[in-house]
Structure 1
């Protein structure tokens, strides 16, 4: 199945510090591509994979589950760890949950994490009945392009397969139980107005992780897909400053060459 234009995975061979970026549920690497390119231009090695079932058509997502999505980012992380001296993981929405599980599972192998509007729970009146409803109704309305900035669209699906949403619900419950195992330095950025993931998710994550080095940043001008929104530049700058603090001399200042 052809990949949607803009949804292709992205990789850049840079220095000895690497960053793995994880996109969100029903989204694609397009939502994080500007972030990935920003990091690459500053000399970092970057990996932004396309999660299984994403970036093509919603029917492909219907036959995948959280085990497939997590296996992909876990594989990419292990590959980065063989090539880089230090590795960071960044994620948006469900990508934030994937980031948190990688952190819980891999411990000190991950130097630090940055998560943007991370998902912790499937919300809505229909969430509790997903185990039953998924057998009766195939899809519901999509959740992409929650962006305040005019004229910006997220490449993703306009339908959400309920089978996949049920798997996401199970995954988020699993990750919630593992949050106390997260000990890495962390930056959590979340929008004050988010129509997909409410602020309570960020609050719960902040309250349950065991990390001692935690920075919370409020994004006042963006909706859910903040990496494509008004606060995108701030996200990019804060994440680079975070890497520079924990891995001095990794970030090449003022560079304009990407890959």
Structure 2
């Protein structure tokens, strides 16, 4: 058990001051920056400015996460977005799982600051019927079995919790509702990666997002060899290289249109 304030090894936030195009990376629920660290380092090596924050309640204990909610996680990524926007005339926001949901919310509320979205197995809904019991269940028990470690490649570790805090999960579902309601506000280019075999996020979220946004520049890429944490899996090179190319394309398209 970690002592108060102690963090799980290798889960530090990442920041890199690079060129004029910034990329904000948002990790997932119960996860940590470790799941996106190779992605962040790849972008930094290409001279992008990069922010990869650690969300409140993450990388310490699941009990800590149960004391937070989606407004806390959102405020953290919002601060990173505003910081990047001060340094970079163009910003791409990317996220894994719930991080994708947070990315969508940032684009909804800060549209002019977000030039594009890269979403990896994003979640905004679920067909899991057990969630219907969540409003009551969260009052009766603090946690359930964990959702971590859904990676096909052996030897990978996303440094996530082995329990799912139910009060925090309930809060996440409230964020889903807001994001689904406002999907039509999304007009930015969207690049969505979806694992064909995902044992955490079911197949319902991607179609909801793709049919709900108002964007005309939308691409879905299917990942055949990876599970949920695709950023640490066999298809990670596809994500790293594809997202960098996407950022470059979007930046070139918008160059000269933003002050």
TM-score when scaled to structure 2? 0.94
- Give the CA deviation at 1:123: 4.3
**1:75-154 superposed matches below 5 A:** 75-154=79-158
> CA offsets per residue over residues 49-79 of structure 1, 9 Å max, x none?
0000001111100100000000100111011
**1:177-256 superposed matches below 5 A:** 177-248=181-252
SS in 2 for 1:134: helix
- Give the CA deviation at 1:124: 2.2
CA–CA separation in structure 2 for the residues paired with 1:122 and 1:54: 22
CA–CA separation in structure 1 for the residues paired with 2:135 and 2:17: 42
CA–CA separation in structure 1 for the residues paired with 2:37 and 2:253: 23
How many equivalent residue pairs?
A: 250
CA–CA separation in structure 1 for the residues paired with 2:253 and 2:37: 23
Of structures 1 and 2, the one scoring higher in RCO (CA 8 A, sep 6+) is: 1
- Give the CA deviation at 1:214: 0.5
Gaps of 5+ in 1: 251-259
- Give the CA deviation at 1:249: 11
Q: Which residue of 1 aligns with 2:25?
A: 21
TM-score when scaled to structure 1? 0.94
Q: Which residue of 2 aligns with 1:253?
A: none
- Give the CA deviation at 1:243: 1.0
CA–CA separation in structure 1 for the residues paired with 2:66 and 2:247: 36
Q: Which residue of 2 aligns with 1:57?
A: 61
Backbone CA RMSD of aligned residues: 1.3
2:127·2:204 contact (CA, 8 Å) conserved in 1? no
